[in-house]
Structure 1
Amino acid sequence: MTNSGLSPGYQYGAALLTSLLILLVLSLLAVASMQSVSLQERMVAAVRDGQIAREAAEYAAREAELRLENETVTLGDFGVKTGLYNKATAPDIYAATTWSNGSGSASIAATGFPTSELSVSPRYLIEHVGQVTNEELINNMAISNYSGGGAAPPEGFRIIAWSSGRTGQTRRIIEVYYGKGS
């Protein structure tokens, strides 16, 4: 056996110190990895919340289109009923009171969307913008029952739909222009 001149006690201390340093480095790597995973998990949750809010707002806009299409709303209702406005009289779409659930709300609650997915029901409002005579607008709008030619110009509507996500922290507002010919 060869003896390096060091007693066995010194060798064990060096191995312990080396092991502790390696454990410290591995612990730091594990903590940094956990923080990264936690941040990524929050980002994914925020994206999902935004997607749910957007889908609910699109659902509300489609419900408004169906109300116009099925003629459950008449031109005489605009300016008289809640959520139905004449041109340039719609409330501020960024104000919280416009989309509140209370009796003083300036919007209409959409029905049928699974409310278990949302903190509050999606809402919409419809603004009657008048007859659409610009041919470019007519070509770019979703207009039902309009063949052009000698028919009267279609009536134009601006639909604004709002929804929050599951947590209530995410909000989405979409705007749709809709035309209805006679």
Structure 2
Amino acid sequence: MILMKRGLSSLQRGAALLTSLLILLVLSLLAVASMQNVSLQERMVSAVRDGQIALEAAEFAAREAELVLDNNTVTLGNFGVQTGLYEKATAPNIYADATWAPGSGSASIAATGFPTSELAVAPRYLIEHVGQVTNEEQINDMAVGNYGGAGAAGPPEGFRIVAWSSGRTGQTRRIIEVYYGKGS
């Protein structure tokens, strides 16, 4: 009788060990799945932040291009002659990497003033002169500076500004397009 109790007790201990191992296995699988989920969420948050930084830098570059036009830093004679300044329908493909590549052969202009430690590459822009804007609806659609309406010397000049920026990693890119008008 004593032997049976010991044998039964061993079986109970074996069953408890097996049950404990199964529970430990299930908990380990849950922990691994949870870690993978957290890792995925971390990558998604990083990508969103990277995209926001790239968009902010592209907006900065577009604003810098507007200031270049506002401050009369360039004249209409510079278009088609200087890098980054194009006549109507002569701008390069804005989706080509070569358009935004840094360096002396680039088809775009590097924006200055944005903290480059936040980006893989400094933001860039190009400006295309699209001609005089004569339609009143087009004038209202553009941000026209120095235009007094009917009393102005002539219709405003229209410009297409395209700004590009990378994110921190260089994997994210944002391109924005702004139409801008300047009265004479």
TM-score by length of 1: 0.96
Amino acid corresponding to residue 140 of structure 1 in structure 2? D
User: Residue 146 in 1 paired to residue 126 in 2?
Assistant: no
Q: CA deviation at 1:150?
A: 3.5
* Counterpart amino acid of residue 160 in structure 2: R
Cα deviation 1:88-135 (Å, max 9, x = unaligned): 000110111110112110000000000000001000000000000111
Runs of 4+ in 1 over 3 A off after TM superposition: 3-6
Provide the rounded CA distance (Å) in 1 between the counterparts of 2:141 and 2:91.
Answer: 23
1:9 aligns with 2:2: no
Partner of 1:31: 32
How far apart, in 2, do the equivalents of 1:148 and 1:159 lie? Answer: 23
Give 1:147 deviation, angstroms: 1.4
**Structure 2 unaligned regions, length at least 5:** none
Q: Distance in 2 between matches of 1:168 and 1:134?
A: 40
Structure 1 residues 109, 96: CA separation in 2 closer, same or farther (over 3 Å shift)?
Answer: same
Consecutive unaligned residues of structure 1, counting only runs of 5 or more, are none
SS, match of residue 179 in structure 1: strand
Report the CA distance between 1:4 and its aligned residue.
Answer: 7.8
Which deviates further from its counterpart, 90-99 or 145-154? 145-154
Rounded to whole Å, the distance in 2 between the matches of 1:117 and 1:156 is 32
TM-score normalised by the chain length of structure 2: 0.95
Decide which structure has greater helix share.
2
Q: Is 1:132 aligned to 2:136, yes or no?
A: no
Matching of residue 43 in structure 1 with residue 44 in structure 2: yes
Identity of aligned residues (%): 81
1:1-22 CA-to-partner distances (Å, cap 9, x unmatched) read xx98962111111111111111
When structure 1 is superposed on structure 2, of 53-62 and 4-13 the one drifting more is 4-13
Residue 155 of structure 1 corresponds to 157
Query: What is the identity, as a one-letter code, of the residue corresponding to 2:48?
Result: V
Alignment pair present for 1:104 and 2:105: yes
| CA distance in 1: counterparts of 2:149 and 2:42, whole angstroms | 52
- 1:81 corresponding residue in structure 2: 82
CA distance in 1, matches of 2:181, 2:117: 33
Q: Deviations over 1:24-66 (max 9, x none)?
A: 1100100000000000100111110010000000000000000
Q: Which residue of structure 1 lines up, in the alignment, with residue 176 of structure 2?
A: 174
Equivalences, count? 180
- Structure 1 distance, partners of 2:11, 2:110, is 78
* Residues 65-100 of structure 1, C-alpha deviations (whole Å, 9 max, x = no match): 000001101111000100000000001101111101
State the partner residue of 2:123: 122
Residue 140 of structure 1 deviates from its aligned partner by 1.2
